[in-house]
Chain A
Amino acid sequence: MRSPDTAAVHGAPFRPLLAKELRGALSGRALWTMLLILCPLVGYSFFQAVSLYGEASAAAKDQTQLASGLSPLDGVLVPTFGALYVAVTLLFPFVAIRTLGREKETGALRLLVQLPYRIPTLIAAKMTAICAAWLIAIAPALSAILIWLLLGGHLHAAETANLLLGHLLYGLLIGAIALFAAAISESSATAAIITLAFTVGSWVLDFALAGQPGVLEWLSRLSLTQTLRTFEQGLLSIGLLLGIVAAICGFAALAAIWLHPGVAVRTKAIRSITCVALVTVALALATQIRLSIDVTEDRRNSFPAADQRALAELRDPLVITVHLAPEDPRYVDLRRNVLSKLERVVPRVTVRLAGTGQSVVGSGSDEAYGEIEYAYGGRSTRSRSTSHREALPILYELARRPPPTPIAGEDYPGYPLVTSAQAALPWFFGALPLLIIIAWWWSRRPPRIPPRLIEEGGRP
């Protein structure tokens, strides 16, 4: 038998590796089972969302003010994709873990690490397969969007794409965590427990710590669900985007560090500490990036266009001192209605909480509690309002500028649609699952064997 060319040991094409990973993702039951579970979940969420949207639309039929509050992003897209979020949180880890866990359990990993691929290349192939699996998993949600359009519903391209981007990043983050969990675990079951500790733990952070003051409030921001919330609000935050990408890369890098069984645990631990430190720095830098784009059609995250232009011209530092506890609902209102919008538009703005130890309980003795102090150009004034309708005139007065004239015709009209998704239920509960089963069966068919292999291979 001829001795093969040993030069082939150095480097190998990416394509066969990627093809193997994609086959691996498709050949398992996890992805198909998740798809089958997603059909009724997404279908029922979509049906309910459209029903409620239809009822609200009927009430707003002849009232422009009510109609302007009807946005398909809030009314249909977010609740429909909410079902996808639940499935990605609870089921997608199993799909992602399988890309590595199965190889560890069967010992195939010991062959894989000997192939002429660098470890980061192996992880990149697995992350690509996870991304492909996510793209397949969103098929039911995408079909819901299509049905919404067929029903005559309106979609704004930018806010829809932004929401999809948020879900993609969330899916990849879960996938990267699952891959890391699979890399450090001996069994898929252990990896699943670790991943669910992250995902379900995020829910605990959400429920238990949200609205709490101090460190607890900071801890609650680490929840994975926070990553999605900004996208659901129609904001494309560059800092958040880079932060999530850094976290995905960080977990993928940790998976790469822990993948090779031949590296001593001490070495892996040292490399992990370095990796975590680098990601922490990247996350800290990402939080400093305040650039964000309001992609919503109704511009809910911005002031009216005329105010936006006027506020963008305020060049001096604007300092806002808030005498409210962070957990106070008035502070939440103020942040949503005024502060976050000002931070996005005014070039130099600083928001300070007057007392870090302030809390709603026990604030009765403090007469200043509830006040918001605005300081600009050496002048300052106080207010208790949390609405932009009162805050903006104060700012114009401090800046000695006249309030801008509203631009006519910029009001969001709203998109009421009196309809029902009853007819879509057979699709989600019958036709789509059937198509998925057929696709599953088709993916499992044996490959065509090249005649040459049969002719020359012969029977033993």
Chain B
Amino acid sequence: MTASTAIAFDPTAEAAASSMQVVGLSKRYGEQRALADISFDVRPGEVLGLIGPNGAGKTTLMETIAGILAADAGNVVWRGKPLSLADRRDVTFYLPDGLRPWDDQFVLQVVEFFAAVYARPEREVAAIVRCAGLAAVLGKRVSALSKGYGRRLMLVLALITPHPLLMMDEPFDGFDLRQTREIMNVLREVAAGGRTLLLAIHQLIDAERVCDRFVLLADGRLRGIGTLDELRARTGKPSARLEDMFLALT
């Protein structure tokens, strides 16, 4: 643990009550700063939106939290205990953006692979497939899926995983309005079931609809965190939309 993270680490009852604390995460790509001392907490069962324009550092932040990208500094704390890199995958699962995993295999095979890895019974897998509307393409190769069905496959894989914290990068990208609402309902249902969701979203209208709280990022820096009302109070704009507050804070 670095000195800065040791100071920022807060093992109080309040901190332990949160699912996860991100403490002082920093990352550079050569001379370019991708994340600068990012700290925030994630509460159990909430849908937390990671909001920011393209290049804000949303994906880098999620990948460093998931442990699939090495952070230069900082730590991730889970229920009051620091998480080592190897332990991250025990509590979080991260679904990257625009992925077509194992694209030469059939959708059914990829779904069954995840179900077998996590020992999910067929009944539950069938319910997840129904919920995400993937049944029509189970017999297709992953490479043959449309963008929307590709997203649905990723959603199914996410729902099969048993991790208490699920991180999804741009989960609504590629869906039309009706489909986006469907997926939002599914995600709300997941959160209601006790899982915590961290969603990276660049469409602020979508984020406003589905998220309980927001982490605002720009240029790798944390610009604000809170519920809509808390952000409104901070910006002094009582009826402002998320879009207005984001512009005001960044």
Contact = CB atoms under 8 A, between A and B. Distances in A.
B229 interface: no
Contacts of B135: 453-454, 456-460
Interface in B67-97: 67-70, 85, 89-91, 93-96
A453 B125 contact: yes
Interface in B193-241: 193-195
Interface string A9-22: 11011011101100
B70 A110 contact: no
A408 interface: no
Contacts of B130: 456-458
B181 interface: no
Contact of B162 (A5, A453, A458): A5
A452 B122 contact: yes
Given A4-B120, A114-B93, A9 B163 contact: yes
B122 A453 contact: yes
A60 B195 CA distance: 81
A66 interface: no
B177 interface: no
B80 to A, nearest CB: 17
Given A1-B189, A28-B104, A449-B108, A17 B70 contact: no
B108 to A, nearest CB: 5
B101 A113 contact: no
A111 B122 contact: no
Contacts of A447: 106, 108-109, 139
A24 interface: yes
A296 to B, nearest CB: 44
B106 to A, nearest CB: 6
Contacts of B102: 20, 24, 103, 106, 108
A9 B133 contact: no
Given A24-B104, A459-B135, A9 B122 contact: no
A102 B163 CA distance: 26
A13 B113 CA distance: 11
A234 B99 CA distance: 50
Chain B residues touching A, range:
35 or more
Contacts of A28: 104
Contacts of B105: 20, 23-24, 27
Interface in A6-45: 6-10, 12-13, 15-17, 19-20, 23-24, 27-28
A430 interface: no
A452 B122 CA distance: 8
A109 to B, nearest CB: 9
Nearest to A453: B126
A455 B119 CA distance: 21
Nearest to B101: A108
B162 A6 contact: yes
A409 interface: no
A298 B8 CA distance: 76
A106 B99 contact: yes
B106 A8 contact: no
Contacts of A402: none
A47 B6 CA distance: 73
Contacts of A3: 162, 164, 193-195
Interface string B103-140: 11110110011001111101111111111111110111
A110 B68 contact: yes
A453 B108 contact: yes
Contacts of A452: 122-123, 126
Contacts of B68: 110, 113-114, 260-262
Contact of B99 (A27, A108, A263): A108
B43 interface: no
Nearest to B111: A453
Contact of B103 (A106, A110, A446): A106
B101 to A, nearest CB: 4
A260 B67 CA distance: 9
Nearest to A446: B139
B164 A6 contact: yes
A9 B134 contact: no
A8 B119 contact: yes
A115 interface: yes
A407 interface: no
B129 A459 contact: no
Given A12-B117, A16-B113, A449-B139, A460 B133 contact: yes
A264 interface: yes
Given A20-B102, A453-B122, A456-B127, A110 B93 contact: no
Given A103-B101, A460-B182, 16 more contacts: A1-B193, A4-B124, A8-B162, A9-B91, A19-B116, A27-B105, A28-B104, A106-B102, A113-B89, A114-B89, A115-B89, A262-B63, A262-B69, A262-B70, A456-B127, A456-B130
Interface of A: 1-10, 12-13, 15-17, 19-20, 23-24, 27-28, 102-103, 106-108, 110-111, 113-116, 260-264, 446-447, 449-450, 452-460
18 contacts: A1-B159, A1-B192, A6-B162, A7-B162, A12-B118, A16-B113, A27-B104, A107-B96, A110-B96, A111-B95, A115-B89, A261-B68, A261-B69, A262-B85, A447-B109, A453-B126, A458-B133, A460-B134
